[in-house]
Amino acid sequence: MKVVAVLLAAGSGKRFGEKKQFIKLKGEPLFQYSLNTINKIDDITDVVLVLPEEDIDRTKVFSFKNVMKVAGGKERQDSVYNALKSVEKADIVVIHDSARPFATEKMFTDGIKNVKEGWDGSITALKSRDTIKEVDRNTVKRTLNREKLYIVQTPQTFVFEKLLYVHEKARENNIYGTDDSFLMEMEGFRITVNEGSALNFKVTTKEDLLLANCLIKGKKPF
């Protein structure tokens, strides 16, 4: 079974203030951390690294895998689509945000295992530890049942042909979702969860970078 990883690094980092994927942590750019983890997954043979078009030539990549650099699109979903279209043949695809440098090997291997066992997709998710409420114009509307709420992360693993199909369909109908699983769910595909972690946070703002640096250097954040 051919397993391809799509590593997304084509964002513009509006909330961060610059392209965070190239920020160096202990001498290595942020995106390289995920690539180092992907390198350890035997099942994955190929990586599609999605980059801003203007950065493709200057971006140096260290990998034991076959890495193809592809230009991203306007939205994250467009970047995933470009990556999927660049793959000649694959059985399973793993989508990962390079903004999550602390995804573990297990998150990748668990997702791949679930899809190999017959699920259409498997997403890394963490059971909510906080109570989540629906609020509309500063008024609390209701309290959701915490037992059923999960915080969703990446990697997300799917049957390649099925993910390509839902992306094509979403494009035709101009539907945008915040993750790939959403598009699969809309088409009735069966998605399961594999265990995430609070440490698998997404570097979104400068505050997150502070945390990431502390974790990498083994320092206390506060």
Name the residue nearer to ligand CTP (CB basis): 24 or 137: 24
Smallest separation (angstroms) from ligand CTP to the CB of 171? 14
Name the residue nearer to ligand CTP (CB basis): 146 or 206: 206
Nearest partner of 199 among 212, 190, 210, judged by Cα: 212
The pair phi, psi for residue 164, each rounded to 5°, is -65, -40
Smallest separation (angstroms) from ligand CTP to the CB of 178? 9
Six-digit token string for 144? 């959701």
Question: Residue 120 burial (CB < 10 Å; 0-12/13-18/19+)?
Answer: buried
Smallest separation (angstroms) from ligand CTP to the CB of 89? 23
Smallest separation (angstroms) from ligand CTP to the CB of 17? 9
Chain positions contacting ligand CTP, by CB under 6 A: 8-16, 21, 50, 72-76, 79, 97-99, 202, 204
Q: Which residue in this structure is represented by tokens 């990998």?
A: 63
147-156: burial string, b at 16+ Cβ within 10 Å, e else: eeeebebbbb
Residue nearest to ligand CTP (CB): 11
What span, in angstroms and rounded, lies between the C-alpha atoms of 101 and 203?
8
Smallest separation (angstroms) from ligand CTP to the CB of 136? 24
What span, in angstroms and rounded, lies between the C-alpha atoms of 39 and 62?
9
Name the residue nearer to ligand CTP (CB basis): 100 or 111: 100
Name the residue nearer to ligand CTP (CB basis): 63 or 204: 204
Name the residue nearer to ligand CTP (CB basis): 3 or 100: 100
